[in-house]
Chains A and B, each alone.
Chain A
Amino acid sequence: MLRKYFVLIAMAASLVIGSITARAQDAGALLDLLVKKRLITDQEAEEVRGELVKDAAATSSGKLKLSAPITELELYGDTRVRYETREGETASNIPGTPGPNDTQKRSRERYRLRLGLRGTLADDWFFGVRLETSTNPRSTNVTFGDDAGPFGKASDTIGVGQAYIGYRGLRDFTFEVGKIPNPLVTTLMVWDADINPEGLSEQWKHSYNFNFGGGSTPAAESYGKDGKTVAAVEAEPFKVKLDLFANVAQFLYDDANPENPLGPRSVAGNKLVPNSDNWLLAWQLGARLTLPNSIYFQAAPVVYNYTGTGDTFNTFYVGGSSAVTNTASLALNQTGINSLLILEVPMEFGFKIGELPFRIFGDFAVNFDGDERAIAAGHPEAQDQRYAYQVGAGIGQLKAKGDWQLQAFWQHTEQFSLDPNLVDSDFFDSRVNIQGVVVQAGYAISDAVTFNLSYGWGRRADRSFGLGTGGAGDIGVNPIDKYQVFQADLNLKF
């Protein structure tokens, strides 16, 4: 009789704990323990186990089957609905049409969906897959009413945003290969957040913890009023945490195809057609120092270099011109990646006042080959146009329902400072040679839903040039003299 009680207790306990599937597993351990303690027999345990598995098999989760090597699986994603308006104004003195001080404006209602699956496998392997709307590397947006319709689906395509394999079997190291989340600590000034580079990354991170002072002070004898020893006073040590990290990446930027053509290599414009893959290599070293009271400072300098030629981005970059018509300016090369050897130094300082987090952040970049890039673009007088920087501040965070956040930053990028194919596509329209301000505000309506407003305003940094824009930019004008964008987003994460 006592045994039966324990069987019932096992079942009841299992029903209380977690999901049905988890219950069967938890009960299994519990049943094994009860058998080991000789409180129930193996046969009784088997009967209970069978009942629990039967119950579990009848549930939705019980009908799902995962392959044996999977140790953990997470389904996640987000969807966003956005209203956006952006406009660009032509320069006050340009040849041809459109005329000076003309404005192109685009207002769009858009959505995006990202659906991901990531999991860990036996022996320290892991993987991730994420499907995303849009095939644009710098955007996941789909514009409502943008295709044949009404309500067409031609633009509602799903692309593979991430697909990678990883390994964490060596202490402090993480290795990833595939179409991977950007492993680098960076900012929108250099990398659009929607880009998932393709290639390999090797990451190392190690944390050091230091305690200064603290411990207990020696107890004084016969110190108390009753003549007894008073307990030692515990002093809180000053705790410092230092995280050191290194991120190394090899991204396949542009595949040359074929590497070895039949017959002699092709010639175009008296030059041999390039025949080697182009790789973007990145080396980053970083440190984050965390002090008591949530004070931290982080810096993570990174060097970018490009090797090989590829066959798409190997024409010299010009970046538009204010001396020709708009059409002719747009036709000048905007995407060449010649002469780019860039040092980027993103930094962040944060602290809390009460429970309210503050952060001051910035980024600085210099292209050491900016002089060569300027000369190749036909602007030998502009060899100093090689710097870019961003500086900003933020208050609050969006972690839970009722949270709010404010953030603003100023950004300045020069014509030959950065790779225009990677810079953020929203606030400065995928362009360089532009400077301006961005202001953002957010509020968490629930733990999963946030509402965000963003406004960006910019103008040409140097009026002698066009504005290099990797890809088309959303505003079909070059040079843009003034630019602004407003976005209202409803985001849902799951």
Chain B
Amino acid sequence: MKITHLALALGLAFLSAEARAEKLVIKGSDTLGAKLVPQLAEQFKAQHPGTTFDIAAEGSTTGIAAIIDGTAQIGMASRRAKPAEIGAASAKGVHMKPTIVAYDGIAVIVNSANPIKSLTKKQVEQIFTGEVTDWSAVGGSGGKISLYTRNTSSGTYSDFKELAMKKRDYAGGSQKMAGNEQIAAEVGKNANGIGYVGLAYTKAGGIKVMSIDGVLPSVQTVHAKTYPYARPTFYYTNGDATGLAKQFLDFTISGAGQKIVAQVGFVPIP
């Protein structure tokens, strides 16, 4: 009889612990999800014991799709939802609500051994569309340009195409990487490499950031919108966020959250 009571007590205790441990599922952008959101989550967990996070950073497209499918409470996106995605969401009764959580500048990076210090917007477009294939054509010392881009599910991939390439297609020989860190690593190893990463990933070794039309990406130039490849980043929710998602969203845009945003290398909301 005592054993029965003990088992019952243990079971109730387990259920009670499960009920207290709330889980927040966040999916989407690698730009946000590789560094920033995990650090925000750690800080949030310290203030909300028992909260658990399931963070999957596989590209903005997956985050927006997760909101449409209802498989995540927050969709991270480094780009705006496309009309087709908003249309698909509406058809399912989902209202895609964007909340700006940080700003970013897409930095164009080259190998630190590359003598070039700056590029024009036109040159960037020519390089990434394949019109220019040798560094000598843009003032370099020669050598076949190796292009590194994000994969097609990435918001940065789409944003860069729109901001820097007049929506033209990437050059056929470009190598598609899963994340910002991989691009930075490859460019750091390849003297003829060029790629782009979010501002938070420009501290990697072996790379340097190009100024574009004489403007370097920074907090000031992104806020002033003088850097040509600046962009907001978003949390997408189904309508106004509620419950734990709202708490985490509020934390992200709070002073404490924005401090982490700045520490990680993003540009805080002004």
Contacts and interface: CB of A to CB of B under 8 A. Distances in A.
Interface string B173-210: 00000000000000000000000000000000000000
A46 B234 contact: yes
A54 B80 contact: no
Contacts of B269: 42-43
Interface in B249-270: 269
B167 interface: yes
Contact of B98 (A47, A62, A123): A47
B169 interface: yes
Contacts of B167: 68-69, 122
A398 B168 CA distance: 41
Interface in A36-93: 36, 42-43, 46-47, 49-50, 53-54, 56-58, 62-63, 65, 68-69
Interface stretch (B38-46, B52-60, B83-91, B107-115): B83-91
B84 A57 contact: yes
Nearest to B88: A57
A122 B168 contact: yes
A315 B97 CA distance: 74
A197 to B, nearest CB: 31
B169 A42 contact: no
Nearest to B99: A43
Contacts of A65: 84
Contact of B83 (A43, A46, A47, A57): A57
Given A54-B90, A57-B90, A69 B169 contact: yes
A50 B97 contact: yes
Interface residues of A, number: 20
B168 A68 contact: yes
B98 A46 contact: yes
B232 A42 contact: yes
Contacts of B84: 57, 65
Given A43-B99, A47-B98, A53 B86 contact: yes
B86 A36 contact: no
B212 interface: no
Interface in B156-180: 161, 166-169
A50 B232 contact: no
Contact of A50 (B87, B96, B161, B225): B96
Interface of A: 24, 36, 42-43, 46-47, 49-50, 53-54, 56-58, 62-63, 65, 68-69, 122-123
Given A46-B98, A46-B234, A68-B161, 18 more contacts: A43-B269, A47-B98, A49-B80, A50-B80, A50-B97, A53-B83, A53-B86, A54-B86, A54-B87, A54-B96, A57-B83, A57-B90, A58-B87, A62-B83, A62-B87, A63-B87, A68-B167, A69-B168
